[in-house]
Amino acid sequence: MNDCLFCKIAAGEIPSTKVYEDDAALAFRDIAPQAPVHVLVIPKKHIGGFSDIEGEDDAALAHLWRVAAAVAKSEGIAQSGFRVVSNCGKDAQQTVSHLHLHVLGGRALSGEMA
Ligand code: AMP
């Protein structure tokens, strides 16, 4: 999508600190981290958010979760524990309309949800 920040990051038009990339997914560090490890995992295909998921996205979404698990391992937080969050819509304070998983860890997390 032309005017989407995360599409531009996925296309390499806006820089990011990548921690994982393949044909379908990208993981990069959040610019305003809420925890010592705060990585965003996105599909390269534009999906606006959870409400926009369709049947054809099943494989891409399963892949996204597997990438999130792999990122937790590679970031060294799989044993200590981590949180995976996806905000959808206004009340959840989603600020970027491109589906993303927040992977948070590296400290004891309380009630905050990215
Ligand atoms: P959300 O509020 O759930 O939509 O999450 C969007 C996240 O994107 C926030 O945690 C922002 O800090 C993060 N973010 C915004 N712009 C960038 C960027 N250019 N690079 C990395 N993370 C970003």
What is the per-residue pLDDT for 37?
98
Cα gap 25→76, rounded to integer Å? 20
**Which of 4, 5, 40 to mutate for ligand 1's pocket (most ligand atoms within 8 Å of CB)?**
40
Helix spans in the chain (H): 5-10, 58-74
Among residues 38, 98, 100, 102, which one is catalytic?
A: 100
What is the per-residue pLDDT for 42?
98
What is the per-residue pLDDT for 1?
76
Nearest to 61 by CA among 50, 70, 72: 50
Residue 98 designated active-site = no
Pocket of ligand 1 (CB under 6 A): 5, 14, 16, 30-32, 40, 87, 93-96, 114
- Please list the pLDDT of the chain residue by residue as tens digits (114 residues): 779 999 999 999 999 999 999 999 999 999 999 999 999 999 999 999 999 999 999 999 999 999 999 999 999 999 999 999 999 999 999 999 999 999 999 999 987 666
Residue that has been written with the tokens 């969050």 in this structure: 85
What is the per-residue pLDDT for 92?
95
What is the per-residue pLDDT for 111?
75
